[in-house]
Amino acid sequence: MNQGSCLCGKVQFKVTKFLPAVAHCHCSMCRKFHGAAFSTYAEVSLEDFTVTAGEQLLQSYQAANGTVRKFCKCCGSSLIFESRYNRQDKTIEIALAAFDVIEHVAPNAHIYLSSKVDWFEPNDELPKFKDFRE
């Protein structure tokens, strides 16, 4: 079972199955939301995702482009990303670093490299995309 939580442990969740899209996102919003050079998200169907504790503590932030990011309002942990495409497909994206127990899931792309930080250059073998996956 794939289980995760926020930093303070008050928000807990589980995922029964991951979708194939797992990526390091280098867009400026993900960088700012995570306070890092990039964020790593795994996509899941809503039917495969359950908040098991602390759902009332999830705070949402809607950006000007319509994306919604959810975080724990107690500790600030970045947890969930949702775009209009996610809403259309009934999926969400979960921050991979928030998992406490996880099956083997590996990123399979770098996306939005057009806005990456200057001080980091991905040098792995993953496919690299200027914007979203082509």
Indicate if the pLDDT at residue 117 is higher than 80.
yes
Residue 63 lies in a domain: yes
CATH number at residue 15: 2.170.150.70
For the stretch 73-86, pLDDT in tens is: 999 999 999 999 99
Short-list 9, 37, 33, CA closest to 95 = 33
- By residue range, what is the domain housing residue 90? 2-21+39-102
Cβ distance 71 to 79 under 8 Å? yes
Residue 33 lies in a domain: no
The pLDDT value recorded for residue 1 is: 81
Residue 17 lies in a domain: yes
Pairing of strands 39-45, 91-95: antiparallel
Q: What is the number of domains present in the chain?
A: 1
For the stretch 4-33, pLDDT in tens is: 999 999 999 999 999 999 999 999 999 999
Residue 8 lies in a domain: yes
- pTM equals 0.89
Cβ distance 69 to 81 under 8 Å? yes
The pLDDT value recorded for residue 6 is: 98
Residue 133 lies in a domain: no
